[in-house]
Structure 1
Amino acid sequence: MKEHLFSAETIEHYATTMHRGVEALRRRVHDLDGPFSGRTVDEVAPAVDAVDLDVPLGDVDAVLTELGPVYLDDAVWFHEPTYAAHLNCPVVVPALLAEVFVSAVNSSLDTWDQSAGGTLIERRLVDWTTRRIGFGGASDSGADGIFTSGGTQSNLQALLLARGEAFLSGHVDAGAPFAETMGRFRIFASADSHFSVQKSATILGLDADAVVPVRTDAHHRMDPTALDLELARCRSASLVPMAVVATAGTTDFGAIDPLPQIADVCEQHGVWLHVDGAYGGGLLASTRRRHLLQGIERADSVTVDFHKTFFQPVSSSAVLVRDGATLRHVTYHADYLNPRTARLPNQVDKSLQTTRRFDALKLWVTLRTMGADAVGEGFDAAIDLAREGHAVLRDDPDFEIRVAPTLSTLVFRYRPDGVGEDLSDELNPRIRSALFRDGRAVVAGTRVEGRAWLKLTLLNPAATLEDVCSVLEQVRAAGRDLLDELHSFQEVG
């Protein structure tokens, strides 16, 4: 065991092992010809099940060889240009370099005596992000925040803070039973908001109907007038509006809710405004489209996922708040971590987590190597590609497209002449499955107003219109084959 511990005596062993791993990865990536193998669960599982974890191989080369059949042979590769399914991004090389230090040094970002300089780097990046949002920095405005594991955790923490503030809002009877008060809280979010809003409400102990869906417009953006009516209805029913969640980049459509108008409504009603910018947060680095986030500076809290549109490895997210004092709702004092007499910058005071990886280092190394403009250009390139893809789909009679893209998603379906709604609902999910089995392209599926659609999520700055057209041609070819099968089955039936 001793020889495997990271120390000055074993640094050469560490370096040699890392070199072998990088070389194995280089060979693997060099030989890829698509984003997925196409193999099924039943085909992949036996290799994993056959491994005896109580009998070590004892040699790193043997372990690397074994990684092929148990993992790498069937991994889904997001950097491949024909991967266009979910909000998974290819990662920039400087962030991969940072991962070496994150894992090797193994800092824990909860207290100063476990991270020291790492604490200061994270705080600088929080300050940098809050300034980009328009909150100002911690030193001059009191804005603050913390890195989290992802958008779901960021949204959860933001809503926990909103709940804490709601108890202090003056609309709550301090003498009322806790459960009774919790039953009165309501969260307002668009019908297209992320499922983590509903999940957060459940975790926070709110009623099953605590999340009120707000009507959206034809572009799938929250309707501020409808929000105003829902908030007024809430007050008239003696309920307490706890928070409004506006979305800057919905999962399916990339829609950005009208933030200035929503902020006006929230201000009039005195309700916490949270902006879920997990997807659209990358616009904070854009030199061409930052204006799409106008109004975000009026939010009380914001979620940004750096592991989406800042091209960072999972996990790297943050929740940012306009008033750092609101983070007190997650503070818990433990003498061994944050004694009240200590005057040290302990991040554990602001976080739902205790032990926490130094994920901020990845963004730091990226910004210091590439700069924010280059990151923003990467996201802009993906948005440009989505607009080009939309033009192709719009002019092709075999395809139907739902709305023009705001960010980098395209919701469409294969529906040539003669294919009705019901047949389309059966056909498009089968197309998606057929492409996944083939392995040359990976696309997503969704449902809109009860109907089945396909979705391209474009987050690869290196992908081209030719790549998008290749995916669409594979969709068309699979659709034609499946239509022939369905027609043949109907004729036999």
Structure 2
Amino acid sequence: MSDLLARAYSPAEFRRHGHALIDQLADYLENVERYPANPYATPEESLEEFRALLGRGAAPEEVFGRVIERSVHLHHPDYMGHQVVPPAPLSALSDVASSLLNTGMAIFEMGRPGTAMERVVIERFAELLELDPGSGGFLTSGGSLANLTALLAARARHGAPGRYCLLVNEHAHYCIERAVRVMGWGEDGIVHVPTDDHLSMRTELIDGLIDEARGRGLTPIALVGSACTTATGTYDPIAALADAAEKHNLWLHIDGAHGAAVRLDPARRHRVDGLERVDSLTLDFHKMLMAPAITTGLFFRRGTDAYRTFQQRADYLLNAADGEGDWSNVARRSFECTKRMLSLRIFTLLSEYGPQLFVDYVRRVGDLGQELATLIRQHPELELFTPPDINIVCFRFRRPDLDTASVNGLNGMIRAHLTEIGQTYIVQTTIDGAVYLRCTLTNAFTTTADLERMLQQVVATGIELLALRRGIGV
């Protein structure tokens, strides 16, 4: 045994570094508002900085400190950017234990605690989401993988070969189209359903689109709804989709990666009425349920459908005689073989705080979305795209004398300017050719004052850029 190996695995060294890191992170949480929400740096600057750290063999405490300082700060109340939640600290601590133990979860004998906790977490959230009593499922690494797995199950249920296609909201997440291409269905494999002014699917068009697809020799086998769309946070009408799916014998999958958790909020649960009728459901715990990325639940209304997708043999690993219903060997259902102990992130929160913690969080960020929309309406220079369904809000700076191209360019410049300053983090999206600023309110500690300050920055920047533009005759 070399001295270097002994040092790398030393419990004393782990204790020393671990205590120092926890102190660093606790100090960070206490003082996060001293940082800009989005510290700006170019790719080249970041590369040079970390090459230098490695070149001089920086101590772990310095490396951790630099990573903390340079990262986007999701726990900062001015973080209003992408759909990633600031994780609850206890959930993050779970990753330390999971990473050190490093037990894969393909088979039960390698991942006994994680497998059992995963079953409990799926059961508990199936209850909280009021899914069908026969529901089952598992955790997996991200919504894209969960959506693909669900659609593979839909294809497996159909059985007979053919030119398959599915119907989906024209503004659905791009991973649905990616899944269609992965399954080899080609460009004809996805039929986009037009949306209304709120970007919800126009379900009255589904019958005609199915007839048209069949007329082109295609076989529709699935209907995919969004709960909610990524760009605008808009919900498709799930109950109406369920009616259409039953009428045409289609598999109904709901991409609820971001917003299916709204079921926990008594004031907004109507957004997902009919959720108990879907065949499969994707839910990201790292978008609305306080877990580190990436932690995704895939639920099936008929729990046995989870076994439809992956039926390959692996005699060294799985007993072929066990087959369907072998819940304890996760590799039978999940794309992954080696998988992190994702369940520990959720189990610890459930065990310590109970389900009310998740209810409080979903309600709080939904309220923030409504509050931001109200503030936007009060600004004459700002325009709200549509009343928010939950915590995603799209708006833009505009003046009545500006044409569409000018408004688009100006809002892109506002966002770029705020990004370089770094104090507030918002993003942008394009909806039917129009550029909007976009906020996802994932920090439960964001206040009215934080929202007002962000809007003031947007308006002040817009006015300044407009004055500059006009001053130079552009």
Alignment TM-score, normalising by the size of structure 1: 0.90
**Does residue 321 of structure 1 match 2:323?**
no
**Does residue 65 of structure 1 match 2:62?**
yes
Give the 3-state SS of the residue equivalent to 1:85 in structure 2: coil
Partner of 2:404 in structure 1?
421
Amino acid at match of 2:250: V
Aligned with 1:34 (options 30, 33, 36) = 36
Residue deviations 1:65-93, cap 9 Å, x none?
13444x33321111111111110111112
Amino acid at match of 1:331: Q
Aligned with 1:330 (options 290, 300, 310) = 310
Cα deviation, residue 110, structure 1: 1.2
Counting only pairs closer than 5 Å after superposition, residues 370-385 of structure 1 correspond to structure 2 as: 370-385=353-368
Partner of 1:447 in structure 2?
430
Counting only pairs closer than 5 Å after superposition, residues 360-399 of structure 1 correspond to structure 2 as: 360-399=343-382
**Does residue 113 of structure 1 match 2:109?**
yes
Contact 2:221 2:249 in 1 (8 A): no
Cα deviation, residue 481, structure 1: 1.7
**Does residue 81 of structure 1 match 2:77?**
yes
Cα deviation, residue 420, structure 1: 2.5
Give the 3-state SS of the residue equivalent to 1:84 in structure 2: coil
Amino acid at match of 2:428: G
Contact 2:255 2:281 in 1 (8 A): yes
Partner of 2:50 in structure 1?
48
Structure 1 134/371 Cα, relative in aligned 2: closer, same or farther at 3 Å? same
Aligned with 2:225 (options 230, 246, 267) = 246
Once residues 146 and 125 of structure 1 are traced to their aligned partners in structure 2, the CA distance between those partners, rounded to angstroms, is: 9
**Does residue 207 of structure 1 match 2:180?**
no
Cα deviation, residue 283, structure 1: 1.9
Counting only pairs closer than 5 Å after superposition, residues 7-26 of structure 1 correspond to structure 2 as: 10-26=10-26
Partner of 1:176 in structure 2?
none
Partner of 1:257 in structure 2?
236
Contact 2:146 2:296 in 1 (8 A): yes
Aligned with 1:480 (options 454, 463, 466) = 463
Partner of 1:218 in structure 2?
197
Listed as ranges, the gaps of 5+ residues in structure 2 are none
Partner of 2:262 in structure 1?
283
Partner of 2:6 in structure 1?
3
**Total equivalences in the alignment:** 465
Residue deviations 1:100-150, cap 9 Å, x none?
22112222111111111221111111222233344444xxx2x32121111
Once residues 483 and 279 of structure 1 are traced to their aligned partners in structure 2, the CA distance between those partners, rounded to angstroms, is: 35
Amino acid at match of 2:37: P
Cα deviation, residue 209, structure 1: 2.9
Residue deviations 1:141-187, cap 9 Å, x none?
2x32121111111111111111212224xxx4xxxxxxxx3xx2111
Cα deviation, residue 242, structure 1: 2.3
Amino acid at match of 1:43: E
Listed as ranges, the gaps of 5+ residues in structure 1 are 173-180
Once residues 18 and 46 of structure 1 are traced to their aligned partners in structure 2, the CA distance between those partners, rounded to angstroms, is: 27
Aligned with 1:165 (options 154, 157, 163) = 157
Once residues 378 and 274 of structure 2 are traced to their aligned partners in structure 1, the CA distance between those partners, rounded to angstroms, is: 35
Give the 3-state SS of the residue equivalent to 1:14 in structure 2: helix
- Percent of residue pairs bearing the same amino acid type: 27
**Does residue 102 of structure 1 match 2:85?**
no
Give the 3-state SS of the residue equivalent to 2:293 in structure 1: coil
Alignment TM-score, normalising by the size of structure 2: 0.93
Contact 2:132 2:277 in 1 (8 A): no
Contact 1:274 1:299 in 2 (8 A): yes
Aligned with 2:176 (options 185, 188, 197) = 197
Partner of 1:132 in structure 2?
128
Which piece of structure 1 moves more, 121-130 or 394-403?
Answer: 121-130
